[in-house]
Chain A
Amino acid sequence: MAAKASGPIKRTFTPWDDPSAKPFIQFENVTKRFGDFVAVDNLSLDIYEREFFSLLGPSGCGKTTLLRMLAGFEAPSEGRLLLEGQDISGVPPHRRPVNMMFQSYALFPHMSVEGNIAFGLKQDRMPKADIDARVAEMLRLTKLEPFAKRKPHQLSGGQRQRVALARSIAKQPKVLLLDEPLGALDRKLREETQFELMDLQQELGLTFVIVTHDQEEAMTVSDRIAVMDHGKLVQVASPAEIYEFPSSRYVADFIGDVNFMSGKVSAVTDGGVEIRDDTLSCSIAAHLENPGTKVGDDVWLAIRPEKMRISLDEPGDTATNCVSGEVWDIGYLGGVSVYHVKLANGNVVKSTVTNQTRLVERPIGWEDKVWLTWPHDAGVVLTA
């Protein structure tokens, strides 16, 4: 994604591809049950030192529960949790080198903003002058200087979120767990804070595990993203990999916008497949990443809307990777326009076009007959 490249520091950091690299945090077959309910289901995950790791998933899929196990507030029902190779099951929360920013902020209502931020530093018996300096630094970072003396109930939602953030990073722990740290901030402040977080993480060499609902945010800040569903990891990969090579329809649909075309495999060629569907006028030719696919399998082709070319003119070859339909709806998003094209079989396919010129009148209008084409390598063939 372009957003990744716009980060302040570009780096090649892929310890997960290096078999000799030692994981920093390890979940080993961890299961967490609340009564009969399984919140985390036999999950194994390695997170590396200095990694910026994001957890993404729908509400209730167990993201907070994972963080709470790392922080020490919940014990795994089964499995082990290792930090730097040590089992941390018996270590109480106050002895773990892990700090957490709570989803509910959990600010101390009887302490001022300064008091909240200084709390963790005081527990370490840091000299007063150092505490003051660090608090001032945190206040500056989170733009909270004018509110230093206020109590939490005298702050707005976004300001309280920043206090919670400042409090959790003040101690500069080895591992920082952030449970939706930026949700209440407006877009501009959120983007600024994202970059501040990335800088901070780089500068101090910390390991961040962040939960977010905002996939764009996950794309921007993370080294790797884990997509969760019902207590299981569906895919763990770098933002670009997750976006371009999702492992299932669930992931493809969860991250970004996507078109699906279903069909049966009619032929397997060298590194590619041909997919046919009775309701489509063309056959689909695509690259094949999954070598186990056989003729006759039900598959889905996932294509991102920006990889669908839309045109008013009939292309030369209409037999493969080419469908036609009628413009059903146009979404103007400023930077791009999204064309919703209704095919003959009733499916709607989306195509995004960058608005490169300042055209008030778009060349393609409602109810125009258009052709959609895509190259062989534009989509991903998914079997699940």
Chain B
Amino acid sequence: MKKGPSLFNVVSVTLGFAFLYLPIILLVIYSFNSGRNVAIWAGWSTKWYVAMVQNQQLLDAAWVTLRVGLLSATVATVLGTMAALTLVRHGRFMGRTLFSGMVYAPLVMPEVITGLSLLLLFVAINFDRGFWTVTIAHITFSLCFVAVVVQSRLVTFDRSMEEAAMDLGCPPFKTFFVITLPIILPAIIAGWMLAFTLSLDDLVIASFTTGPGATTLPMRIYSAVRLGVTPEINAVSTVLIAVVTVGVVAASLITKRQEAERQRAERLAGAAP
């Protein structure tokens, strides 16, 4: 017996999605508003997108954000992958529990606290705040996300493939680059994308750790909104949403495909005795 969705189900799903996405849909629609007032619809127009690309302040902020994102995601991916390798590969070592706890702490730490503690650190060591401090802060908090993604791939990694490579005369270091890395690459890419999008839309930690000349896009938007929302901001936000969505969807698609492939490979492996 198969019943269609009940009225209750339909209503709750509609309400839930409306709650989640109505604000975003409104924002996107109003970014195409031709009027100045954000609350009153005055017809379709792309003039705010034109205004956006002519706004030097916004462009500067976007450029900072992009650089911070690319750099922090890349460094976080390298460090996060190394952390994951250590956690998975080196079985039991002194302080392993502590180490894994410390890698994952920023995952649950309130951003305000991460931001504040980093700020205190930079002040204490007298580090000039600006582009580099934001980048370092972003590496710190996105590293653990990369570590989680890569670790989940590594635990299912069949190490006999590495053994086979070494058995055939490949030294251990080279084995990592020709066997291990290519096989876990999809997870590493997914981790990078996650780190990049996290960096892209971070406001709290960036606000704490930035300095003059390194205003990120979310910060610029936030300060602009305090002076009143303009359709121009809606346009910027729409672009940002698009970029983040593409990043997250791509990351999850890569992870999914990789998981499906692994399952298929395992099924095949299971068929052989």
Residues of chain A at the chain B interface (Cβ within 8 Å): 71-73, 92-96, 98-100, 102, 104-110, 119-120, 123-124, 152-153, 157-158, 160-161, 167, 171, 183-184
Distance in Å: Cβ of B186 to nearest Cβ of chain A: 10
Does the CB pair A109–B160 fall under 8 Å?
no
Distance in Å: Cβ of A67 to nearest Cβ of chain B: 11
Can you list 26 A-B contacts with CB-CB less than 8 angstroms, sorted by A residue number? Answer: A71-B167, A73-B167, A93-B166, A94-B168, A94-B170, A94-B171, A95-B169, A96-B167, A100-B167, A102-B164, A105-B272, A106-B160, A107-B164, A108-B179, A109-B265, A110-B183, A120-B168, A123-B168, A123-B169, A152-B265, A153-B268, A157-B272, A167-B168, A171-B169, A183-B272, A183-B273
Does the CB pair A106–B164 fall under 8 Å?
yes
Contact of A93 among B163, B182, B271 (CB under 8 A): B163
Residues of chain B at the chain A interface (Cβ within 8 Å): 158, 160-161, 163-172, 179, 182-183, 261, 264-265, 268-269, 271-273
- Asked if A153 meets B265 with Cβ closer than 8 Å, knowing A92-B172, A120-B169, the reply is yes
- Chain A residues near B261 (CB-CB < 8 A): 153
Taken together as a complex, chains A and B put the C-alpha atoms of A158 and B272 apart, in Å, by 8
- Chain B residues near A107 (CB-CB < 8 A): 161, 164
Taken together as a complex, chains A and B put the C-alpha atoms of A73 and B166 apart, in Å, by 9
Chain B: which residue is nearest A99 at the CB level? B167
Taken together as a complex, chains A and B put the C-alpha atoms of A110 and B163 apart, in Å, by 16
Distance in Å: Cβ of A106 to nearest Cβ of chain B: 4
Taken together as a complex, chains A and B put the C-alpha atoms of A90 and B255 apart, in Å, by 40
Q: How many A-B residue pairs have CB under 8 A?
A: 79
Taken together as a complex, chains A and B put the C-alpha atoms of A167 and B163 apart, in Å, by 13
- Chain B residues near A106 (CB-CB < 8 A): 158, 160-161, 163-164
Taken together as a complex, chains A and B put the C-alpha atoms of A104 and B167 apart, in Å, by 14
Chain B: which residue is nearest A158 at the CB level? B272
Taken together as a complex, chains A and B put the C-alpha atoms of A110 and B258 apart, in Å, by 12
Distance in Å: Cβ of B180 to nearest Cβ of chain A: 11
- Chain B residues near A120 (CB-CB < 8 A): 168-169
Distance in Å: Cβ of A359 to nearest Cβ of chain B: 37
Taken together as a complex, chains A and B put the C-alpha atoms of A102 and B269 apart, in Å, by 13
- Chain A residues near B272 (CB-CB < 8 A): 105, 157-158, 160-161, 183-184
Taken together as a complex, chains A and B put the C-alpha atoms of A71 and B165 apart, in Å, by 12
Residue among B161, B167, B171 with max Cβ neighbours from chain A (10 Å): B167
Distance in Å: Cβ of A164 to nearest Cβ of chain B: 8
Chain B: which residue is nearest A98 at the CB level? B167
Distance in Å: Cβ of A340 to nearest Cβ of chain B: 29
- Chain A residues near B183 (CB-CB < 8 A): 108-110
Contact of B167 among A94, A108, A152, A183 (CB under 8 A): A94
Taken together as a complex, chains A and B put the C-alpha atoms of A157 and B273 apart, in Å, by 9
- Chain B residues near A93 (CB-CB < 8 A): 163, 166-167
A71-B167, A93-B166, A123-B169 known; 19 other A-B pairs, CB under 8 Å? A71-B163, A73-B167, A93-B167, A94-B169, A94-B170, A102-B163, A104-B269, A106-B158, A106-B163, A106-B164, A109-B161, A110-B183, A119-B170, A120-B169, A153-B261, A153-B265, A153-B268, A157-B271, A157-B272
